[in-house]
Structure 1
Amino acid sequence: MSDLAGDLALARRAALAGAEVGLRYFAALAELPRELKADGSVVTEADRAVEAAVRAVLGGARPDDAILGEEGGLTGTGGRRWIIDPIDGTAMFVAGDDRWLVLVALEEDGEVVAGVAVVPAQGTVWWAARGAGAYQSGIGDDEGRRLRVDPTGADTPHGATVGVIPDDYVHRPDRAMLEPLTAVARTAPWPVHAALLVADGRLDLAVQTRGQIWDFAATSLIVREAGGRYSGLDGRQAPDAGPSLFSRSAALHGATLKLLDGS
């Protein structure tokens, strides 16, 4: 049996170490070269440096665990796997937008059991452990505020508030995919990652149109532990590649999936 509290504390320590590195690069953006990956997304030296810092903390404390990172791929084997997105929102990062995150999660035997999301430039930390709830605090604060989804909203997407990620440019096929929802729901701005706002009761829904497992591992657990629901738009329950939906309730989640499926 693992020590889940210890694993969560380690995830926080690793994510905060990465955040510290990321902030140094964020403070000197004008000097930061940018590259394009094969898929057209932006990557920088900062992404690699943040992941290296996170890996150093995790590997030093749990040398037998596997680690999967967006930049470094998979290292190690076994039933325990740490999942890292060193800079979630690199395009925002290089644009000077303060909403970028450092995401760290722990998966045991295929289930995410701990997750941390740090928003370094806003000075906040969001975290959850399986069965222990979800919380948010300022960086450096010892105590967290319990997160809970809004229990009062309707269980239909009609009139619901939805945050769409990304909010700056949505590819034409993704706009078409979301049109049944955006036609009946109210699209709302998100000053911090929209899934976290679902967990905090400030949004009913969040849709992330594209992503990989490292984009969803931490945020999916935080939303679930706050009382909400997460799945891929295809209904898969585990975080993985593809568009994903976060909702304040099971009924709203099901109704939104049906609407998007055209049924």
Structure 2
Amino acid sequence: MTPYAPELRFARAFAAEAVAVVRRIRADGFDVATKADHTLVTTADHEVNRQFIEQVVARFPGDGVLGEEASRLTGGPRTWVIDPIDGTQQFVLGIPVFMVSVALVVDGRPVIGVAANPSTGETYWAEAGAGAYLDGARLRVSRRDGTTVPVIVSGGGAQPVSPNGLDADALLRVHTAPAVSSTAQRYPWPTVFSGCKVAEGSWDADLFGHTTAHDVAAVCVLVREAGGTVTDRSGADQRYDRPVDGCILSNGLVHEHLVRHWRPARACPAPPGRDGVSGG
């Protein structure tokens, strides 16, 4: 048995339950509100987040929970991280790329990651040291390095600028050879969906330009266990139980190029308090 086998079983079982909840709420109708940061939140986001906290408290009472909509932080070494729906805007619009995302972070490092797509029924999962899988099939990152054909890079942040500056909120086709120009088009790809595409080898990298750990904790494990590389904006390791300094997820072959050319990291806000319950 692998070190975190019980936790992986729990995370996969919860993801399956969450998929059923999201499908039911979408079929029955849901409320939509706008949060202070101008992002959307729905009945489904709140319900999945609430059920996850309840189940973690019942199964792993000493563990904390860091969620997008609500948290229960304990100050201990183990923190579950949940994004109840990554891609709420896509959920509202019916674009089938929104995902339920769950991770277990131990001493700041993600060791379990599960991401499930309610629209397709696909479930990705990974455990540190045990590989990454899509519905039982082993995942491997791509081997494209951008020297002869452009690599596919998603994301980049919320402030679109020059595609060659690697900071467009878009799907980029990037050449690592400096003589070849890059192109970009805007697509509605949420971070978890994009990270899964990197892990399965369909895309080559994802650039995450924000500070929210719940967006990247699960796919961090998936990409690493599929043979890829994950760092902050500057190419360094970081914790995923507190705000992050962006995130670069790649096949490893293009990672240094992306670190070198992406816009310098912005200052990361101070970590939140380590106890109590907070809304997200």
Q: TM-score, normalised by structure 1?
A: 0.84
1:176 and 2:161 matched: yes
Secondary structure at the counterpart of residue 87 of structure 1: strand
Q: Indicate the residue corresponding to 1:257 in structure 2.
A: 259
Q: Contact 1:113/1:130 (CA < 8 Å) preserved in 2?
A: yes
Q: Contact 2:104/2:113 (CA < 8 Å) preserved in 1?
A: yes
> Residues 120-139 of structure 1: matches in 2 within 5 Å?
120-137=118-135
Residue 140 of structure 2 aligns with an amino acid whose one-letter code is R
Residue 180 of structure 1 aligns with an amino acid whose one-letter code is G
Residue 235 of structure 1, CA deviation: 2.9
Residue 76 of structure 1, CA deviation: 2.7
Higher-RCO chain (CA-CA 8 Å, sequence separation at least 6):
2
Residue 105 of structure 1, CA deviation: 0.5
Structure 2, gaps ≥5 residues long: 167-171, 175-180, 265-280
Q: Indicate the residue corresponding to 1:243 in structure 2.
A: 246
Secondary structure at the counterpart of residue 149 of structure 1: coil
Cα gap change, 1:132 to 1:34, in 2 (>3 Å): same
Q: TM-score, normalised by structure 2?
A: 0.79
Secondary structure at the counterpart of residue 193 of structure 1: helix
Q: Indicate the residue corresponding to 1:84 in structure 2.
A: 82
**Alpha-carbon distance in 1 for matches of 2:5, 2:12:** 11
Secondary structure at the counterpart of residue 27 of structure 1: helix
Q: Indicate the residue corresponding to 2:141 in structure 1.
A: 149
Q: Indicate the residue corresponding to 2:11 in structure 1.
A: 11
Deviations 1:205-228 (A, max 9, x none): 222333500000001110010001
Q: Indicate the residue corresponding to 1:141 in structure 2.
A: none
Q: Contact 2:114/2:123 (CA < 8 Å) preserved in 1?
A: yes
The RMSD of aligned alpha carbons is: 2.5
Cα gap change, 1:158 to 1:212, in 2 (>3 Å): farther
Residue 40 of structure 1, CA deviation: 0.5
Cα gap change, 1:97 to 1:247, in 2 (>3 Å): same
Structure 1, gaps ≥5 residues long: 138-143
Aligned length: 245
Q: Indicate the residue corresponding to 1:197 in structure 2.
A: 197
Q: Indicate the residue corresponding to 2:45 in structure 1.
A: 47
**Alpha-carbon distance in 1 for matches of 2:53, 2:116:** 16
**Alpha-carbon distance in 1 for matches of 2:24, 2:250:** 34
**Alpha-carbon distance in 2 for matches of 1:96, 1:25:** 13
Q: Contact 2:163/2:183 (CA < 8 Å) preserved in 1?
A: no
Deviations 1:165-193 (A, max 9, x none): 7xxxx74xx21275423574455866981
Residue 224 of structure 1 aligns with an amino acid whose one-letter code is R
**Alpha-carbon distance in 1 for matches of 2:63, 2:162:** 38
Q: Contact 2:163/2:182 (CA < 8 Å) preserved in 1?
A: no
1:221 and 2:213 matched: no
Out of 50, 55, 58, which is 1:57 matched to? 55
Deviations 1:126-155 (A, max 9, x none): 011011010011xxxxxx00000113x126
Which is richer in helix?
A: 1
What percentage of residue pairs aligned between the two structures are identical? 33
1:107 and 2:109 matched: no
Q: Bigger shift: 49-58 or 103-112?
A: 49-58
Secondary structure at the counterpart of residue 234 of structure 1: coil
**Alpha-carbon distance in 1 for matches of 2:259, 2:133:** 27
Q: Bigger shift: 109-118 or 17-26?
A: 17-26
**Alpha-carbon distance in 2 for matches of 1:155, 1:63:** 47
**Alpha-carbon distance in 1 for matches of 2:211, 2:149:** 26
